[in-house]
A and B are shown apart, each in its own frame.
Chain A
């Protein structure tokens, strides 16, 4: 066997010395591969080259005008809630078609938030039909495929990736003005896959959600780093659970104290726009539990105003 003269183009940055490259015949089998954390993946017989699903995804996505990701490194900051408000607001325009894709496979919350958790997916000749909340708002989530909501989805990465690719190529999304993708916390398989699969069709931008405390901001910093690494434009930051208005004395207090300046400081540090801050209103959580449209039910809440301002800003940015 002839030794590789110069490093091939597909050697990962953090690869061991003399890595033969991930696309090489020797991948996973060369001496240098011993001890590499990814040896098994390289050595496995998974076909090299572009994913065969890509052309189908491109075709399916050609009828989708705008694709938005809702991201946050941290869990429980309100990604799914924000996704829902965004979708309700988009769908309030009768002429716009909106789709939501919930790629949080281990903990899908979108169906509960829309009150459609008992629904099941139907298959037709054109693919899986999304579950429609109203005529112009379709939802797809793994929850529609489980025999019972109690069952855990104990899947490792490759299986999750498979489902995400199916969500993109096998779901009959139809003509969409907006496709909003709700993601799980972190920067792992689901995120890499969605970015990879949508690379050709293009992602219009990501909205990053955070809460004011440093523990959450730390994770959001990582998410910003991720977006920059993979080249997703960031539309802006949303600070959720920002302040709480006591229903009894109407005074505002900080539940999650922004010990390091909150999202505002982070926005300044990173040069990302702060789209707005949404105060904590107990009725938001209630609406999510019972599947109400919060924006419509409580138009007087300060949170509703904050949400609508943010959504308007997102629309303005995207229409530029």
Chain B
């Protein structure tokens, strides 16, 4: 592994852990898991500093999910200032191509080399500062964005790990296999697999329906010998929260946490997700030495 110093490694020198959220398949909830992971890690300690980087360049969802739609990035003498989801506390830094677009309907029609350049800038030109965790939300597939990330992060490869997200049906699991083959090839340790959209509880009669079948993720994790972190049912409440998230400017006065985190803690998914975070973080608890 190369240990040479690059603009990326210098910029990320105070970032302790980098967690990639991966899935071969689209629409399985990568961004939702990434957002929840960032929120949970943020909440894990009153001093935790967390960053979330959205490298899904042609379909950024993180700004919407954290209620940061319409925010812009500022330029400072030391680099781009990320958007802080928690306002003045400045412990949850977000960066996404969504913050750079003039209109939310603008398409980013870029081929690989341009995407590669953008990712390099996100890593080397953003003033991330000191972070306990940098959560990276990725687009579906195993292509330019993923290769670029791994390439640019090569000098600090030892700090990278990955969480893989899937839905239970065979079509999605097939893509997850490809994703696992990718992590093996690039030598990134997998913290575990999250099975998302595992069952839906009818709000009317309470009957659980497996809209996308169930158990496939757990089975796959066992076969591939990676930790199974847990399964999350479809939670309409959470979908609504992440979808319609309002700007966090008016936090609940009774709580120190900002609006979205406060409401997230009331969802049914929250306790389930804490268990997932706990299991996942067992994998990164080893202190990193430079």
Contacts and interface: CB of A to CB of B under 8 A. Distances in A.
B59 A219 contact: yes
16 contacts: A37-B117, A112-B174, A149-B178, A152-B24, A153-B142, A185-B140, A188-B115, A218-B64, A219-B59, A226-B107, A229-B109, A248-B209, A255-B200, A255-B234, A286-B213, A288-B170
A14 B181 CA distance: 37
Given A73-B59, A188-B109, A188-B111, A288 B169 contact: yes
Interface of B: 24-28, 31, 56-59, 61, 64-65, 104-115, 117-118, 139-144, 146-147, 167, 169-172, 174-175, 177-182, 185, 200, 202-205, 207, 209-213, 234, 236, 239-240, 242-244
A61 to B, nearest CB: 23
B205 A222 contact: no
A149 B24 CA distance: 12
A300 B236 CA distance: 27
Interface string A268-291: 000000000000101001101110
Given A189-B144, A251-B205, A154 B185 contact: yes
Contacts of B182: 152, 154
A150 B178 contact: yes
Contacts of B112: 156-158, 188-189
A145 interface: no
Given A106-B141, A112-B174, A254-B236, A192 B111 contact: yes
Given A150-B178, A188-B115, 18 more contacts: A38-B114, A75-B140, A76-B26, A76-B28, A106-B175, A107-B175, A149-B174, A151-B178, A184-B26, A186-B139, A188-B111, A189-B111, A213-B243, A214-B244, A215-B65, A215-B243, A285-B169, A290-B170
- From A76, A249, A286, name the one whose CB has the most chain B CB atoms within 10 angstroms: A76
Contacts of A216: 27
A57 interface: no
Contacts of B144: 156-157, 188-189
A214 B243 contact: yes
Contact of A76 (B167, B200, B203, B204): B167
Contacts of B27: 74-77, 185, 211, 216
A150 B177 contact: yes
Given A74-B26, A150-B181, A229-B109, A248 B207 contact: yes
Nearest to B177: A150
A187 B26 contact: no
A185 B205 contact: no
B244 A260 contact: yes
A221 interface: yes
Contacts of A76: 25-28, 140, 167, 172
A264 interface: no
